[in-house]
Amino acid sequence: MGVQERRARERAARKETILDAARALLLEQGFTGTTTKQIAEHCELSEATVFFYFKSKDEIFISLLFEGIEFWCHGLEKIAGLDLTPEDTLARIWKFFGQVHTEHPEYYQLSAFLARPRSTTDVSDEVRTDIIQLSGKNFQKLADILENALGKGEGRVAADLLWASFLGLTLVRESRINLGAPRHPTDRDMNRIIKLITHGLLSDTNNGERT
């Protein structure tokens, strides 16, 4: 028994090692830009061993994605359980986004991977459905939290705004050549921005459907 347990633990550890390598490389080079050889070298294993643990390159990145989705799920559940003022709720969410970015920085890139249109070895429909469903649930949870905090049926739009802003800022911040600002947004900038958004969301009394 002890043997089997240890084996399972070791196996899990190796898998995680491989995922860590893939994560790092994905961030720097994107999906097509990352090769299985690089991944293997990065974790000092032979390519064949990588394929012993994962059936294909795709499977590696899908595993990464599921890890990210789960991280989201836990984080949002924790926030939902807290009892905070609207302002603090927004701040807390923003902070959580930062954590996602710290611990699963590849999460943003993965959407690009899944967006590939006609790739050959494409993700199976089953997996695709799982991803969509789980992601959808996560987003709904975020919208619910915001709806609770803000009321006014703005939860969904607020979720869009927060999530997209953070995503955009993150991308800008990470790219080595900044196509926009001559310096990347700092943490202070980020704080300033969430305050502006908060302000917009909270003081927004006279909204409505005047498209």
Partner DNA sequence: GATGAATGAGTATTCATTCAT
Partner DNA sequence: GATGAATGAATACTCATTCAT
* Residues at the interface with a copy of itself (CB under 8 A): 28-33, 65, 69, 107, 110-112, 114-117, 128, 131-132, 135-136, 138-140, 142-143, 156-161, 163-169, 171-172, 174-182, 185, 188-189, 191-193, 195-201, 203-204, 207, 211
Binding flag, residue 23, DNA (CB under 7 A): no
Sign of torsion over alpha carbons 73, 74, 77, 78: negative
Query: Least distance to a copy of itself from the beta carbon of 80, Å?
Result: 17
Tokens of 100: 């996602």
Residue 30 CA to residue 189 CA, distance in Å, equals 27
Please choose which of a copy of itself, DNA, none residue 82 contacts, taking the beta carbon within 5 to 8 angstroms, the exact cut-off set by kind: none
Residue 186 CA to residue 190 CA, distance in Å, equals 6
Nearest 5°: the CA angle 142, 102, 107 is 60
Stretch that binds DNA, among 42-50, 97-105, 154-162, 189-197 (CB under 7 A): 42-50
Binding flag, residue 170, DNA (CB under 7 A): no
Residue 58 CA to residue 21 CA, distance in Å, equals 14
* Residue among 83 and 101 whose Cβ is closer to a copy of itself: 101
Residue 101 CA to residue 137 CA, distance in Å, equals 20
* Residue among 13 and 196 whose Cβ is closer to a copy of itself: 196
